[in-house]
Structure 1
Amino acid sequence: MFRVALLLVAAVFCGACGSPSASVRPKGRVIVLTDSLLAAGGCDTVRLGRLRSGEIAVSRLWFENRSSRPLVVVGYERSCGCTSLAFGSEPFVPGAAHAVELTFDSRGERGWQFKPVDLRFAPDGRFRLFVEVEVE
């Protein structure tokens, strides 16, 4: 009897466990990635609003994998040093979301800015992110 109760308790705790990314619901901006979007090289725009010169904006984005295979962010290319991305190197399976932190440094920038950031996903996907900001 005690063993049965102990097994039930262990099963409940193990069932509640799992990968943190699977149980965490993304909050904020979610960009959905599909097979056709990655093959064609889709794009989206992140609008950061207005900044004063010298301010740094940080925005957390989520890439939700709705493709047929696991994805990994393997790198990115940017048009200037004012934009950067921070991301994990672990794969995220279909149905999971992956957090990416976008940073825009307005030092040296003036006026309306529209900067491209090209992301590469393994095995063979690409996605262009445009960063739009007005620097006063």
Structure 2
Amino acid sequence: MGQNKIVCIILVLAIFLLGGCHSGASKKQKMPVKNNTQVTFEKTSHVFGKVIGGETVGCYFGFTNTGKYPLLINKVDPGCGCTSVKYPQEPVLPGQKAEIEVRFDSSGFSGYQYKVIQVYANIEDKMKELVVSANVIN
């Protein structure tokens, strides 16, 4: 009976220790921003035109923080695995310009393609949409 108690105690301790490993406490999270700002994009859509199947094409969406507070881009969702993005990880201060790079891999696609990229930030609408399109020729 003493061995059963020891085994139970070890199991309970193991459960607590393993549960603590997956608490997510070590993940770096951005602090919520109370002050919304404004952003002005130079353009919100880009047409690649004719693209040969398998080709990867890219463009940049330039923007300016036109508000009073630092702009924090929380996330840029490319919407699909064929589209990748790079965006500023640091705050964009009022008056500063920056850009979001968008790359579209046309592998496996044919015909007209329309991709929506969602930009989440501390702006009035919380989210801004950017669009890229291409006509993939095989």
Quote the Cα distance in structure 2 between the aligned partners of 1:78 and 1:36: 19
Provide Cα deviations, 1:43-77, integer angstroms capped at 9, x if missing partner: 92121221100000021221211122110222122
What is the RMSD computed on CA atoms of the aligned residues? 2.4
> What does residue 126 of structure 1 align with?
127
- Structure 1 residue 35 corresponds to structure 2 residue 38: yes
Quote the Cα distance in structure 2 between the aligned partners of 1:104 and 1:129: 13
Checking the alignment, whether the CA contact within 8 Å between 2:44 and 2:61 is kept in structure 1 is: no
> What does residue 136 of structure 2 align with?
135
Quote the Cα distance in structure 2 between the aligned partners of 1:35 and 1:122: 8
- Give me the TM-score of the superposition, normalised by structure 1: 0.64
**Over alpha carbons, which structure has the higher Rg?**
2
Q: How does 1:1-136 map to 2 (within 5 A)?
A: 35=38, 44-122=44-122, 125-136=126-137
- Give me the TM-score of the superposition, normalised by structure 2: 0.63
Quote the Cα distance in structure 1 between the aligned partners of 2:77 and 2:122: 15
Identity level (%): 29
| Structure 2 unpaired stretches of 5+ | 1-36
> What does residue 27 of structure 1 align with?
none
- The 1:123–1:36 alpha-carbon spacing in structure 2 relative to 1, beyond 3 Å, is closer
Letter in structure 2 aligned against 1:35 = Q
- The 1:35–1:123 alpha-carbon spacing in structure 2 relative to 1, beyond 3 Å, is closer
Count of aligned positions: 99
Larger relative strand fraction? 1
Quote the Cα distance in structure 2 between the aligned partners of 1:71 and 1:36: 8
Which stretch has the larger CA shift, 112-121 or 75-84? 75-84
Letter in structure 2 aligned against 1:61 = F
Provide Cα deviations, 1:25-44, integer angstroms capped at 9, x if missing partner: xxxxxxxxx7398xxxxx92
Provide Cα deviations, 1:85-127, integer angstroms capped at 9, x if missing partner: 1122111112111122110000011111111111111366310
